[in-house]
Each structure stands twice: as structure tokens, then as C-alpha cells.
Amino acid sequence: MVSSRRLYCSFYGCGIDATMLNIQRLGLSINGQTLLDDVSFTVEPGETLCIVGESGSGKTSLLKSIQGLMPAYFEGISFQGDRQAEIRQKGQWRGPIGMPGSRWVMQDPIAALNPKIPLGQSISESLYRRSMPKMDVDAAVRQALLDVELNPDVATRLPSEVSMGQAQRACLARALIANPSLILFDEPLSALDAVVQKQIAATMKRIQLKYEIMYLIVTHDLGFASAYADQVMVLKNGKVEANQTAADFFHDPASPYCRDLVLAARALGSLSGPAIPSSYERGADV
């Protein structure tokens, strides 16, 4: 059987190799209010960066800026060798980034899907915009559904006729069918029960490992981050409080604020593993 990634590439005329995503000093201001300030990070192919922080810290605004939905400014950006990005690095640029080859999976799958059209049609929308033959579209939809471990028969169902977990898998299929190098997730599991969360998280990881897709995942769940993240970036009031490997973040947090986040998660029972050293002496309390 032809793999889905090869199938998608034949439709889009693209390769599966991706270079890293590198963002330097991204900022965002709306009506004089600074929402993001001096945010920098790098993600390699196949890596997951989990973005955590309190509500209102700028996590979703960061995803929207990367996706081109909010007008960010930055000093440098590199993604997939984009020539336009290289030109932008010569000076500060303001406007929507709009990463090519990136897709977004939202928190509420039912709200993200058109309630009046079958799932297969929602999944295939980006292909129809390219005037692809229906036979090829149907084949791509079928393969995408298999990739996210859904029976292809759900393509004929409306969002109201499937479970919340099936709807979120359909949203993942809709992202995957576009052959992305980067997928942005905004609390992708928070609307699901614990059992389904684990199942879909495992599917997400399997797909990532198979295709070396970069993941940026906004989450409040430090237990999820400890299990699936390669890096953890903490935002506080729109600024980067810490950006560490997951192993370092959960064992030796970069600031007292991050330490408190980890300790709170342990107290709630969402984290296990070795305790943070008691001789913690990084900086002043926040």
C-alpha cells in the first residue's frame, strides 16, 4: 500500500524533508497592549515543544501569530528554507507570519467542523481548492482517516453523528492531509475524557514519529508535557519565563515560578518521578 505521506506528496508536489523552525524575538501588540514580547525558540523535525503557562499568558496568541491570524513582529524567522523569511531577517518586519506548510488543530473539535457537511468533505477542503480529481481526493481522505485510526466509513457522517474523540481525530486528519511540516495544537485533548486523551495522544505521537512533523502544543496539562514534550516553554505575561528540555524542566526548573508550577502539578497527582532538589537556588522568588 502506498503510504499516506507519499500519497499526499504526489498531490502537493512537495517533499517530506523539513528544516527546523526558528523564531527570534517575536512580539505582538494590539491596541497598545503588549501580548507577546521577545519570544524566541527553535524546534527540530520530529520534536514537540509544549507551551505552558497561566491563562492569559500569551500561549494561544503565539499560535495565532505563527499561523498568520495576528500581526506579529520579529527580528528573524526561518521555516522550511522560506526565501521570504530570509529576506525578513534583514530587518524587523510587522504583519502576519502565515507559515507555509503548517496546520492548526483547535481545542473544540465540534466547533472546528462545519456541522452541515460530512467529515470527509471537511477533511478534504484544502484538496478541492486545488481542483483535484474526486477519485484522488477520496483516496487521500481514506488514507488520512486510516492514519488517525478512524474507519474510513466515518467520512460520510456529520460531526453530530460521531463522538468527541472521533471528531478530534477527524480534525487531525484534516491537518495531516495537507502534508504539513508543522502542526499547531491548542489544548487538543482538554475536551476529551481521560481514556480518550491517552489514546489520541498516542496517535499524535505515532504520526509525528512516522512523518517527523514538528508539534507546537499549548497545554495546561504538565502530565501530558512530561510524557510527550521534547522541550517545555513557559510563558508568563507574554514573555518567556523558561525554555528547557523536558527532562531539565521537570527535574531542575529554570525559575522559582516554574518550580511552583511543577510542584503544584505533583501535588495534584498529574506528575510522577524524582522530586525537585531541595537545594533549589535559582534567582529571586516571583
pLDDT tens readout for residues 114-170: 999 999 999 998 887 667 788 989 999 999 999 999 999 999 999 999 999 999 999
Percentage of the residues of the chain whose pLDDT score is greater than 70:
78
- 35's CB contacts (< 8 A; 6+ apart) are 28, 29, 58, 61, 238
Confidence category of residue 8, pLDDT binned at 50, 70, 90: very low
- Cα–Cα distance between 276 and 28 in angstroms, integer? 34
Confidence (pLDDT) at 11: 34
Range 239-247, long-range pairs (CB < 8 A, 24+ positions): 239/36, 239/37, 239/38, 239/39, 240/38, 240/39, 240/40, 240/41, 241/53, 243/40, 243/41, 246/50
pLDDT score, position 269: 79
Q: The whole model's pTM is what?
A: 0.83
State mean pLDDT over 50-79.
83
Q: In whole angstroms, give the CA distance from residue 231 to residue 214.
A: 12
Distances (CA, A) of 107 to 113, 197, 217, 236: 11, 12, 11, 21
Task: Compare 242 and 78 and report the one with higher pLDDT.
Answer: 242
Question: What is residue 147's predicted lDDT score, i.e. its pLDDT?
Answer: 96
Q: What is the mean pLDDT of residues 189-195?
A: 92
CB atoms closer than 10 angstroms to residue 97: 26
Q: What is the mean pLDDT of residues 171-197?
A: 93
Q: pLDDT class for 98, splitting at 50, 70, 90?
A: low
Give the percent of the chain with pLDDT over 90: 60
Q: What is the pLDDT of residue 6?
A: 38
Half-sphere exposure of 189 (CA within 13 A, CB side): 22
Best-predicted range by mean pLDDT (6-10, 19-23, 176-180, 244-248): 244-248
The more confident residue out of 93 and 207 is 207
* pLDDT tens, residue by residue, 216-225: 999 999 999 9
Weakest mean pLDDT among 91-95, 147-151, 180-184, 231-235: 91-95
pLDDT of the residue at 99: 59
- What is the C-alpha to C-alpha distance for residues 66 and 79, in angstroms, rounded to an integer? 11
Confidence check: pLDDT of 270 > 80: no
Q: Is the pLDDT of residue 59 over 70?
A: yes
Is the predicted pLDDT of residue 275 greater than 80, yes or no?
A: no
Domains annotated on the chain, with CATH: 45-65+99-267 (3.40.50.300)
Cell of 214: 514538528
Q: What is the pLDDT of residue 280?
A: 39
Q: Bridge-partner residues for 112, per DSSP?
A: none
Collapsed DSSP state (helix, strand, coil) of residue 100? coil
Question: In the chain, what's the furthest Cα-to-Cα distance?
Answer: 64
